[in-house]
Amino acid sequence: MTRKLIISESEKTKILSMYGLLNESVVPSLVVQEVVSPGYLQSKEGKKYIPIPNVLVTISKLVNEIEISEIDSQYTDEMGNFKFENLPKNIPLIMTIGGGNIYYDFKKTFEPLGDKSIEDFAPFILSLKKQEVAKPLGTTKDQGCRGYKSDDETFYGYGFEKNKPVSNTVNLFIESESVKTAKRHAIVQYLAVYKDTGVNVDEMLKETIPYEIVCTHTTSDLVSPLTTSVVEMNKDELDKIVQKIINKESPAVKLDFENLKFKDAITLSKTINQPIFLLMGSVDDDATKEVISYIEKNQELTNKINKNYVTLYYEVDENEIDKYMTAINSLENLRVYPAVVILKGIGNPNIEIRKSFEEIEKEQGLDNVLYLIDTLI
């Protein structure tokens, strides 16, 4: 007589796994969208987690009760995120996050994923190893680079580099790589606190950012030494870099001259209660070009004129009857160009033009005294 042995699906999976016969079909992904974070960064808004870039994350599986086999590994990105795809779905998985010299390793076990992706984890928080505060500057042989904590004004970035094997007791490590990582880490913290800057880490790293190396430490392992560096960055300097990037991306503002006849400009000035900025000169004249260039190099001044004035440019041309000729016959004692006149509409220019505006300021022959433009606005 033939006897049948009935086993459950879970027992079947366990047996097949033990003998390496399990058909490991895959699921789309295991996604961590939240940052891997050490402790917190104290800010005015409260405690904020700090992303840790370049941390090694490994996904493994149990071959048997003792032996672990690695499936895949990768480093976290600049915001502490990582993503694994094409993972086995029918066996438990083990995730390990390496903490290096500064943090304790983090380990988490996942039950078989089945046919679903797992996303939207809470932050995996790496805990700082028990440590003493490092000396404020220089190289420390025993304690390593530890104990530096960022706040709203000062940002300390930690950088690590595991070097190639060396021989003959010669350290061939490249410290600059460790410093580069530390710089990135400091900037990531800054952007985590000040989120509305509109720039990213890579854009900032392209600029020259003032920083100070406050600590460098290399382990005594001559085969594969680990270098730790800490850099200090100041918020004010980082703010300047952000502003520089924003200004670089924004096209230069030009004077926005309106195409208005003189009488129409007076009427508009009175209606909207804004003064008139009137520049008279010649487009072929170097002195006129210097005046325009002087104003437009000062973007704050250019924006102020465009926003707060009815902005006019009149070519010195006797054929411009409704513009230049009407203006020059209405204004007093204006004979040298380039000239800037600030005036304001107060009446109806169609009744009596000379009484329809008030002359506020006037400067002429400005090519030799460009700085006087600043006193007019």
CATH class of the structural domain 9-126: mainly beta
DSSP letter string, 205-247: HTS----EEEEEEE-S-SSS-EEEEEEEEEHHHHHHHHHHHHH
Given strand 154-162, what is the order of strands in its sheet? Answer: 154-162, 226-234, 212-218
Q: Give the C-alpha separation, 63 to 59, whole Å.
A: 13
355-363: average pLDDT: 94
What are the tens digits of pLDDT across the range 273-301?
999 999 999 988 999 999 999 999 888 89
325-330: average pLDDT: 95
Count CB neighbours of 131 within 10 A: 13
Q: Give the C-alpha separation, 184 to 108, whole Å.
A: 27
Q: Give the C-alpha separation, 374 to 324, whole Å.
A: 24
Q: How far is CA 250 from CA 71, 206, 244, 247, in A?
A: 47, 17, 10, 5
Diameter of the chain by CA atoms? Answer: 127
DSSP letter string, 123-173: P-EEPBPS--PPPSSSB-SSS-S------SSEEEEEEEEEPPP--TT----
Q: Does 37 score more than 50 pLDDT?
A: no
Q: Does 318 score more than 60 pLDDT?
A: yes
Lowest mean pLDDT among 43-47, 207-211, 241-245, 333-337: 43-47
Q: Does 12 score more than 90 pLDDT?
A: no
Q: Give the C-alpha separation, 157 to 140, whole Å.
A: 17
Could you tell me how far CA 364 lies from the centroid of its own chain? 45
Domain ranges of the chain: 9-126, 154-249, 262-376
Upstream peptide bond of 338 is cis (omega within 30 degrees of 0):
yes
Question: Which pair of tokens denotes residue 33?
Answer: 């969208």
What are the tens digits of pLDDT across the range 47-72?
556 677 777 888 888 766 556 778 88
Q: Give the C-alpha separation, 60 to 110, whole Å.
A: 10
What are the tens digits of pLDDT across the range 94-132?
888 877 666 777 788 778 877 766 665 566 777 766 544
231 burial (CB, 10 Å; 0-12 / 13-18 / 19+) is buried
Whose CA is closest to 100, among 156, 154, 52? 52
Q: Over the chain, what is the mean pLDDT?
A: 77
Whose CA is closest to 341, among 309, 303, 299, 371? 309
Q: Does 22 score more than 50 pLDDT?
A: no
Amino acid at 13: T
Lowest mean pLDDT among 233-237, 242-246, 359-363: 242-246
Protein fold of 262-376: Glutaredoxin (3.40.30)
pTM over 0.85: no
11-23: average pLDDT: 47
